[in-house]
Amino acid sequence: MTAYEALAAHIAEYNDLLNILNTLKWDMRTQMPAGGAATRGAQLATLTKLAKDIFVSDKTARLLDAAEAELTGADADAYATRALRQTRDAYELQKRIPAELVGRLAALGPESEAAWAAAKDADDYSAFQPYLQRMLAINIELAEAIGYADHPFDALIQQFEPGMTAARLKVIFGELKGGLLPLLGKIVANDAPLPVDLWAADYDLAGQKALCYELAELIGFDFSRGRLDIAPHPFEISFTRDDVRITTRYDANYLPMSIFAALHEAGHGLYEQNIAPELSRSALTTDFIGQYAVGGASYGAHEFSSRMWENQIGRSREFWQLHFHRLQSRFPEQLAKADAELFYRAVNRVQPSLIRVEADEVTYNLHIMLRTEIEMALLEGAVTVAELPQVWSAKMREYLGLTPPDDRRGALQDVHWSAGTFANFPCYTIGNIMSAQVLAAARRHLPDLAGNLARGDYTSLLAWLTDSIYQHGRAYSTEELLRRISGEGLSVAPLLDYLERKYSDLYQLN
């Protein structure tokens, strides 16, 4: 066995432990009874500390040293070289984070998520406030351990989007505001009620569930290597490319909730299922810093896949011209007065709303800006946890002209902070930006793509995405992937161009 093979075998065992952690987290969010939160927290803490101890051990250091010596002068672009470099960088960073700290974070997670779910149901922010206070304190400790030059947010976002900073995000958000707010103003001025309220009817949940399976499979999700379940907040999690779990949630009076969440999470699943088999259990399918088994280049890169399949494919006119009959066959009475064009307009109608996961493409990123600005203020002490609901309401009025009538539709609506994932929200906007760049590149590389999509053939797009992005796992950074396929790094221009074209047509703005 070579030195690199010995290191790879060691990392494979570490990856196995992370997948066991993922299994417990999936179960916690889909199957576990509410009473199991405290003991599940202890289990997660034990395994998290064990995994960390294995990774930052003297054995890892010896194996790294030997593999680096063995691969001196090797091709810098080879998978092995990239895996070795990423493992070294992660090892040096993880050594700075105390095992006791990650144990506390893991132990608090299940209790905090359970408290959040109960507080949301009861619309009782005060019940969740002490858990959020503890989560914030732990994340401030984590930022200090990781280290940063300008803002604690810079340290925490490295867990999700390496290389991103608070300063760069402010520039990106400024560019987006410059394009989104004028477009939103024109749309609101031209908006008119649709002739039929499609969501006034009841859509039985069994029919919705069957439809979600059908649409996920339609775009390429492989149910022989995956499954679809129910969760209070939809998510995707994988235990290698051969076992990928996605979830959605259902509302009898709002059909889009389930189908677009299913398409979104299936988009995540397509990334994981199409990673090269040889990368399973390797450094290139391991998030060393966050201690997850994740195959995507970054969380933003993962979000590009989910947002592209959900929105640019799943909310397109072509998609529903082809597939509206699937809805109508399952819900003939509810959709008796509708056609494909009306459904397309209904699921793309731009209306400032309170709920992020129900937001349209034009206003969605405003929700992300709101949360990111609040996170930065919490981390630097400019806003306290007690003040959060009032600050949230003020920013909702500033960005969207709305005031949440309760905390359930305000500061309690997202699971992220209860799970301890601060600095994760910007990945959604990065994913939106990247999705427009990637699909524009795909259209340049695949001259027949428009025709294929119009015929309902998604295989050529999936094959190109697999060859260009998915198969590589974490081998390349987000910036590297974008430059390889489009010739430039992250840029908001393609997203703004896409939104301007789509909604100018939909609202006849020209």
In whole angstroms, what is the distance from residue 64 CA to residue 14 CA? 14
Single-letter amino acid code for the residue at 364:
Y
In whole angstroms, what is the distance from residue 364 CA to residue 28 CA? 28
Contact 309, 267 (CB under 8 A): yes
Single-letter amino acid code for the residue at 434:
M
- Which pairs count as long-range contacts for 321-330, CB under 8 Å and 24+ apart, including other chains? 322/454, 322/455, 322/456, 323/215, 323/218, 323/456, 326/211, 326/214, 326/215, 327/211, 327/255, 330/207, 330/210, 330/211
Dig out the tokens for 78 from the structure: 């080879």
Q: Three-state SS across 46-113?
A: HHHHHHHHHHCCHHHHHHHHHHHHHCCCCCCCCHHHHHHHHHHHHHHHHCCCCHHHHHHHHHHHHHHH
- Told to judge if 265 belongs to the known catalytic residues of this protein, a careful annotator would answer yes
Which residue do the tokens 């405003």 mark? 366
The beta strand positions in 255-348, using DSSP E, are none
How big, in percent rounded to 5, are the helix, strand and coil portions of the chain? 65, 5, 30
Single-letter amino acid code for the residue at 471:
Q
Contact 115, 232 (CB under 8 A): no
* Active-site hit among 68, 161, 236, 265: 265
Expressed in angstroms, the distance from the first to the final Cα of the chain is 66
- CA 183 to chain CA centroid, nearest Å: 25
Dig out the tokens for 255 from the structure: 């059909």
In whole angstroms, what is the distance from residue 349 CA to residue 506 CA? 9
**How crowded is residue 9: how many other Cβ atoms within 10 Å of its Cβ?**
12
SS3 of 332, please? coil
In whole angstroms, what is the distance from residue 331 CA to residue 483 CA? 44
Dig out the tokens for 22 from the structure: 């993922």
**List of residues 6+ apart from 164 with CB closer than 8 A:** 157, 158, 300, 426, 430
In whole angstroms, what is the distance from residue 306 CA to residue 235 CA? 11
Q: Give Cα separations from 68 to 54, 73, 88, 284, 480 (angstroms).
A: 19, 10, 9, 16, 23
Contact 212, 251 (CB under 8 A): no
In whole angstroms, what is the distance from residue 13 CA to residue 282 CA? 9
As to burial, measured by CB atoms within 10 angstroms (0-12 exposed, 13-18 middle, 19+ buried), residue 487 is: exposed
Residues marked as catalytic: 265
